[in-house]
Structures are given as structure tokens and as C-alpha cells.
Amino acid sequence: MKITAIHCFPILVGWRNQLLIKVETDEGVYGWGESGLSGRERAVIGAIDHYREFLIGRDPMQAGALWQELYRSQYFEGGRVLSAAISAIDIALYDIKGKALGVPVYQLLGGRQRDRIPAFATAPAEPGPEMIEQAKQLQDAGWSCIRFVPTGQNATDCFEPRESIAKTAPWMVRAREVLGPEVALGIDYHHRLSVAEAAAFCQRMPSGTLDFIEEPIRDETPSAYESLRQLTDVPFAIGEEFSSKWQFLPYIERNLHQFNRLDICNVGGFTEAMKVAGWSEAHYVDLMPHNPLGPICTAASVHLAASIPNFAWLECRSSPVEQLGFDNTEIFPVQVSLQGSAYVVPDVPGLGVDVDENYVRSLNFRFSEPPHLRRRDGSYTNW
């Protein structure tokens, strides 16, 4: 079997772009993959264009060797753009291999360890009575892990961290009071805080209010997380921005976090994700995969979650209180199903997802840009 073509489809699904890729072979078997570098799809397409030059004619069954060649075939190896391209290709190759062998992808990863993949849902309303109502609705529907967003999360022009933490912390306390002790509660601060601000936020709540805080600060400096670790007992859920096992290295080895928000469409696909998962297991760190994209990312994450012992929850963006349109059935007529608060592990060969290619080819690419946030003094801050 030989690779004959690699096609890129940057399309707007819901309010966010998805970059889908299709790898074709001379035996008619094809695979779908997805890149996770949202908002910079054309940069990833450029990398795939380079990789296509030497992938045509290669054996798609040799995913591990091809991963090494893709990573090491340039002097300036690594980085988020190249790793996002490698991720999409690697996922597609596993889809091809599963179809060619007639087995689900999880069989290629050691077999299935669970039948259902527990998911967590996001209450999208900012802190206030509506947020509490959404969380209660999720709890009543059987969701055992709920994530919140802080005040200012939906800002389009200005975000002030201190104002946000002052308004958000009391509503986290209220959520714990209303929802009780059994449901796991977390919040995603989208790396908008400093160490001091993140510590101040956590210290404003009684111990046990939150089961995790996600991405409170940026990830470039592990020692900053080490400092924050000494200032709070709230577990950290981080890693969605990491593009390799090497980026995970200091966090795992220094026991800085408790949940890996690994994104299989950014970290390097199945080939790299399985290495991070095994490494995490040795340090008692559970995977809590980042899944903000579409059904291809979801399917790949489900197969990964089914194959590893150290798994917590998979992110879901199509809950009873949040319907973003990322799983559009016109585009994805075959996809992994959500039953209640868990995904069912598919038993069909490959990923268990397919794309209406004719429909996708009729769609046009639209540039999508997140807000460029400033503080009140005019300086830029993180989105």
C-alpha cells in the first residue's frame, strides 16, 4: 500500500475553523485526520504541503517511522505548527491502518480497557445565577464533572484579571454549595492570570471547592507552575498547548500537575500521545484530553482514552447546555456517539468517523480570529 494524495480542508464549523486532512492510498483505503492549531490553519497547511513532497509513495502502515521522519526531517524541528501538521497526518495513518486490518484504532494501541469514555461538560454562562442553573441541569442529566468559565471569559475587548477573580470566586463557592460534594468541579482560566493572581483566586475559596483549575497561567516557564503549586492545593489541569513529549517532560518529572490536558491533534497524534500517557501513568497523572474541535478529534481522543489506564474525563462541547455546532452531521454523517455523559467506544474499523467530502469541497475557508484583549491601561493580555 502506498500514499497517493494528501488533501487539506480548512472549513468553518459552528463558530470555529477545523482543519481536516484526508490521506489517500493506491488501494482505495483512506484516512481522516485533524489539526488542533485553531486560527492558524494556513500555517499548518503550509507545513503539510512540505511533508506531502516526500510522503507520496510511502507506506502508510509505518506510522512510527514516518512520525520520526516528519519530526526529524528539518533542522528546525518541532514547534506547534509542525507538530499540528504531524498530528493530523499521524491520526489519518492510524485510521488507514485500522481500516486496512479491519480493526478499530484502539486495537492498534493495546486493546480496549473501557467501553464508555466519561466526559465533562462546560457550563458556558459566566458566573451568576444562570451558571448555577446550567450546572444543576447538567448534574440532573447525569454529568459527574462540570467545568466553569470565569467572569470576563467572553470579553471581546478588555479583560482585567483582578476584577475577574473577585467576581468569580464567590460563585465557585456557591456552585459547590448547590451541587454538593459528589460532582467534580473545575474552572478554565485560559492562561489569563499571573502566579500571584492565580494564587489569590484559589485562596479566596475554601479548600475542596474546586477539583481542578485549568490553564491558570501560561506554560512557557515550568518553574512558575512550581511556585504556584506551593501557594495552592487546587489540582492543576494543563497541557493543551503542549506540542511534544518534551514539553510535558518538566511537568511530569517534577510532579507539577495532576491532569494532562493533552490534545491529540497538537501533541503529535497517536504515536506521541501514547508515549505521554505511559509516562504520565508512572507519575500518577491522569489524562483529561483537550477536545475543542470536531468529530475527528473526538474519535481519536475516544480511542486513546479507551486504550490507557490513567484516564479521567474527555472534554465535550455538545452537552445539554452547550451546542456549538462542531459536530455538524451534514459534514460528519458518521461520528462517535455521545450517550448521556459518556462517549461509546466504536467497534468499526479505523476511527469510526467519516466526512461528506463533496459537501466539504463546496465550503469556503473563512479567516477566524480570536479577540485581541487589552487591559484597562491599554496593554495587551492573553486571550
C-alpha grid cell, residue 362: 463546496
Q: In angstroms, rounded to a whole number, what is the distance separating the alpha carbons of residues 264 and 186?
A: 21
| Beta bridge mates, 13 | 16
3-state secondary structure of 286: strand
Three cell numbers, residue 155: 470579553
Q: Which amino acid belongs to residue 348?
A: V
| Count of C-beta atoms within a 10 Å radius of residue 49 | 12
* Catalytic site positions: 190, 290
At position 89, the amino acid (one-letter code) is: I
Structural contact between residues 379 and 163, judged by C-beta atoms closer than 8 angstroms: no
Backbone angles phi, psi at 104, to 5 degrees: -65, 155
Distances (CA, A) of 139 to 142, 143, 161, 211: 5, 5, 29, 16
CB-based contacts of 247, cutoff 8 Å, min separation 6: 219, 239
CA pair distance 212, 200, nearest whole angstrom: 15
Q: Is 42 helix (H, G, I), strand (E, B) or coil?
A: helix
Q: With beta carbons less than 8 A apart as the criterion, state whether 154 and 177 touch.
A: no
State how far Cα 323 lies from the chain centre. Answer: 17
Going by C-alpha positions, the residue among 162, 224, 215, 222 that lies closest to residue 191 is 215
- In 181-255, where does DSSP find H-type helix? 195-203, 222-229, 245-253
Tell me the three cell numbers of residue 267: 501533541
The C-alpha atoms of residue 134 and residue 123 are separated, in whole angstroms, by: 6
- Give the type of residue at 245: K
